Chain A
Amino acid sequence: MSEEIKPRILKINVLRFDPNDKNDFPHIETFEVEEADGMTLYIALNEIREHNDNSLMFDFVCRAGICGSCSMLVDGRPTLACRTLTSKLGESITLAPLPLFKLIKDLSIYSGEWMRGLNERLETWIHDKEEELNFDKLEERMEPELADEIYELDRCVECGCCVAGCGTIQMKPDFVGAVGLNKIARYHLDPRDKRDDEEYYELIGNEDGVFGCMTLLGCEDVCPKDLPLQSKIAYLRRMMIKTALKN
């Protein structure tokens, strides 16, 4: 029976641009792909690269929503291409690279550089404040519930969707975004991190940090890992106000 149903011919419009080519300029190129059962954008893009244009650039590693490399704007909405089924989209699909990040070419972006900068700025590592590392010392125990809570936030894959979905950061690129605030919430939970509230305040207690957030909640709505960004940002905001009050 299913043979009788003709597969859709998808029109995939890709915003293409090679910043290293002086003669190139941003333009939309449309490719036609025959839809297959269970097709994801990852598969569709590979079809295009194989049959239409092998110069089309896009990033993929895991194909399973774990690595976070294939984030792009699908019809204007930031998401992971490998987890996006074409059947959920219309016949005409528009793909564009995530804004704000350095463009490598076409849909390929250098989000790693941006994320590294963010991690360095927010010092997203355990600060145990011990003068010397003692490898013999046993790590402090923690309750499984707490470990779960930390793990929940640690699931961030730095795909950049929350950044692309944030109106605030588009206007004010110095804003740390949900990815940054989520990391702070994660280290703040961790009892192994000995930074005090004032030190966290120094990092995000300003208008480039939590007080810059305008609660547009694009981050919450596009996060492919469904991280509790809204709750965590609200929590940090309350915590930062308390820190300011007690000082």
Chain B
Amino acid sequence: MKKKKIDKTPARLDFIQSASGLILGLFMWGHMFFVSTILLGKDVMYNVTRFFEGYYFFGESYPIIVTIVAGIVFFIFIVHAAVAIRKFPSSYKQYKIMRNHIKSFKHDDTRLWFWQVFTGFAMFFLGSVHLYIIMTNSADIGPYASADRVVSEWMWPLYILLLLAVEFHGSIGMYRLALKWGWFEGKDAKKTRDRLRSYKYAITVFFLTLGFLTLAAYIKIGIEHKDNVGERYHEQSVTVKGVQQ
């Protein structure tokens, strides 16, 4: 009986692609919620920032924690990009075949794939810029610091594109992950898929709305704060708290 050793790499790559995508997708959902706390007021966002800097655990802020987390996310991001690039068309011929197929077939899930590849490619650049800046400027996150970054440091054009790319890529990816592995399949896979697809659209709309509102809030603060770039929010807040105490 033939008994060859199987090559486990294709299985590993497939698993890594899905697992890294899932982690990044979940991270992005959490990230969006945390960032959007600015909509609840500067103090809320400021406290969320301090929470992630470990203030409530150590009594002092350690932005290095954010650097480490951003570094880990950057690493997963690169791993995901490295394994997912296998699915990209690798020549003009392949690209053209796929474009023609999408055009003539008019099939939604095939179209979604194109958008996933497109947004994925865009994020090689958009995501890297953002992650590197956060990693190296982890102390400058806060109601004013972040708003200054958006407006005075000219990040808003990048953030608009990155937001669109992340939300489309993420929700399509999560939808595809569920179908790929047969999660929540139940008895009627077709019905589940329809349901998942409507969730996917709802999630995209929800996070894009939340994302743009959040971005608008930072832009507003950034414009108001334009003349005081560099000023940090926590100083005021600490004083206020000190008075209250």
Contacts and interface: CB of A to CB of B under 8 A. Distances in A.
11 contacts: A167-B102, A167-B105, A167-B113, A171-B98, A207-B86, A215-B179, A220-B190, A230-B189, A234-B181, A234-B182, A244-B12
A241 B102 CA distance: 30
Interface residues of A, number: 39
Contacts of A172: 94
Given A171-B98, A230-B193, A238 B105 contact: no
Chain A residues touching B, majority SS: helix
A237 B176 CA distance: 14
Given A202-B4, A211-B11, 9 more contacts: A76-B103, A76-B105, A198-B3, A198-B6, A237-B14, A237-B180, A237-B181, A241-B14, A244-B6
Interface string B69-104: 000000000000000001101000010011001111
Given A167-B110, A244-B6, A211 B102 contact: no
B109 interface: yes
Contacts of A20: none
A172 B97 CA distance: 10
Contact of A171 (B13, B89, B106, B190): B89
A170 B180 contact: no
B110 A205 contact: no
B241 interface: no
A202 B6 contact: yes
A243 B6 contact: yes
B105 A240 contact: no
Contacts of B11: 201, 205, 211, 240-241, 243-245
B8 interface: yes
Contacts of A129: 1
Nearest to A99: B101
Interface of B: 1-8, 10-15, 86-87, 89, 94, 97-98, 101-107, 109-110, 113, 176, 179-182, 185, 189-190, 193
Nearest to A206: B10
A218 B107 contact: yes
Contacts of A206: 7, 10
Interface string A200-223: 011001110101011111101100
Nearest to B1: A129
Interface of A: 73, 76-77, 129, 165, 167, 170-172, 198-199, 201-202, 205-207, 209, 211, 213-218, 220-221, 228, 230-231, 234-235, 237-238, 240-241, 243-245, 247
Contacts of A230: 179, 182, 189, 193
Contact of B189 (A77, A228, A237, A241): A228
Given A234-B185, A244-B8, A165 B105 contact: yes
Contacts of B6: 198, 201-202, 205, 243-244, 247
A97 B94 CA distance: 20
A171 B93 CA distance: 8
A77 B79 CA distance: 36
Most buried by B among A213, A234, A243: A234
Contacts of B15: 241
B107 A165 contact: yes
Contacts of B14: 211, 237, 241
